[in-house]
Amino acid sequence: GLGSVLPAELRPVWADSSRRSPLFEWLERFALSPLSERIREARNAQREVPFRIRLDSGTLMVGMIDVIWTEGGKVFIRDYKIGQIDSAPEVLYRSQLLFYALAAGKHFRGSPLDLALVSLKETAEIPIDYSGIPWDGLEKDIAEAARQGAAGPFGPSLSACPSCPWRSECLPGLGQIVGEDG
């Protein structure tokens, strides 16, 4: 079953029916929602769409978009979330969708975009505004982040701890949570 293909750290969660049942309820509610119906009715909706886009700098962008479709000349990108959207730093999800938007913009040659997060827990669609984004600047930022990521090693940046989604899993982050020096 599904439990055998999940990453090892998620198997205990999946085995616990008290934690699995809410997920089924969220998915069932979403499946009956107008948004789900809209996606089902989109003739060209594609799910779990992998992409590999080479930027002008030579940087290779690789990712997977949860769902994408075109309608009326516009490209729609949706990213599903099962956690509390308001508990994660806005910049994290916004950056993720802008990454997808840059890839889609390159592929669809500048077609207008419609970006949103989809909270499965709340059956809600949260639009992401990308107006005023300097695409050349975003492309340079992504290339620089890739360069830095490949260059390593890196020391901890304690200033990022308060908004880091992994702060509870690293020693410097734990120190910030309990108020100790990292």
Residues 18 and 64 in one domain: no
Residues 171 and 90 in one domain: no
Q: Residue holding tokens 């090693």? A: 153
Residues 7 and 56 in one domain: no
Tell me which residue range forms the domain holding 56.
33-151
Residue 105's Cβ-count burial label (10 Å; 0-12, 13-18, 19+) is buried
Residues 132 and 71 in one domain: yes
Residues 120 and 88 in one domain: yes
Residues 73 and 120 in one domain: yes
Interval 111-126 mean pLDDT: 91
Residues 111 and 87 in one domain: yes
Residue 1: its pLDDT value, please? 66
Query: What share of the chain in percent tops pLDDT 90?
Result: 43
Residue 91 has pLDDT above 80, yes or no: no
Q: What is the CATH number of the domain that holds 87?
A: 3.90.320.10
Tens-place pLDDT, residues 129-165? 888 889 889 999 999 989 888 887 677 677 777 777 7
Residues 57 and 123 in one domain: yes
Residues 171 and 142 in one domain: no
Tens-place pLDDT, residues 161-178? 777 777 777 766 555 554
Best CA proximity match to 144, nearest among 73, 68, 58, 82: 58
Residues 23 and 38 in one domain: no
Residue 21: beta bridge partners? none
- Mean pLDDT, the chain, rounded, equals 84
Residues 57 and 128 in one domain: yes
Residue 170: its pLDDT value, please? 75
In the chain, how many domains are there? Answer: 3
Which one is predicted more confidently, 139 or 110?
A: 139
Best CA proximity match to 97, nearest among 112, 79, 118, 81: 79
Tens-place pLDDT, residues 23-82? 889 889 999 999 999 999 998 999 999 999 999 999 999 999 999 999 999 999 999 988
